[in-house]
């Protein structure tokens, strides 16, 4: 589990050439990686991460809670009410639900992008 990693001991994020790359970081795994870097003080030169399973987000782990609070999401129950809509992106749903699901995922990823920008990264999200 990511939260069990000791960043100072286990990460080799030293040097300008280090890049963190991952695929399928489910739920809050992206946030846990960011928290790990913040705790350890070990930051890679760049991140390339694929978030997924936004419907599994946990409020306490999300990296940019001030962003959520500005949107009126101030607790886990409210987060889950919104995050459940991310699953609507599935192709078997009507187009209007797919659009809402995609927008919910983009919203959570935007909060992460803004958090990284506050830390000096030239962050952006792609779909």
Measured CA to CA in angstroms, residue 123 lies from 48, 71, 85, 116, 120 at distances of 10, 21, 25, 6, 9
Coil, helix or strand at residue 1: coil
Residue 1 banded pLDDT, cuts 50, 70, 90: very low
Cβ atoms 115, 37 nearer than 8 A: no
Chain mean pLDDT for the chain: 87
In this predicted structure, the answer to whether residue 119 has a pLDDT above a threshold of 50 is yes
Percent of the chain scoring above 70 in pLDDT: 87
Residue 14 banded pLDDT, cuts 50, 70, 90: low
Q: Taking residues 47-72, what's their average pLDDT?
A: 94
pLDDT digits (tens, 9 = 90+) for 60-114: 999 999 999 999 999 999 999 999 999 998 889 999 999 999 999 999 999 999 9
Distance CA(42)–CA(44), nearest Å, equals 7
- Give residue 127's pLDDT: 77
């Amino acid at each position: 589990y990511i939260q069990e990693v000791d960043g100072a001991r286990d990460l080799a994020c030293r040097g300008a050439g280090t890049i963190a790359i991952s695929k399928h970081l489910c739920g809050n795994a992206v946030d846990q990686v960011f928290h790990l870097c913040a705790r350890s003080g070990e930051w890679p030169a760049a991140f390339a991460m694929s978030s997924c399973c936004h419907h599994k987000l946990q409020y306490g782990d999300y990296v940019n809670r001030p962003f959520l609070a500005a949107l009126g999401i101030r607790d886990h129950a409210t987060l889950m009410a919104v995050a459940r809509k991310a699953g609507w992106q599935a192709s078997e749903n009507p187009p209007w639900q797919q659009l809402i699901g995609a927008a919910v995922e983009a919203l959570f990823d935007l909060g992460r992008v803004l958090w990284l920008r506050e830390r000096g990264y030239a962050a952006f999200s792609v779909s």
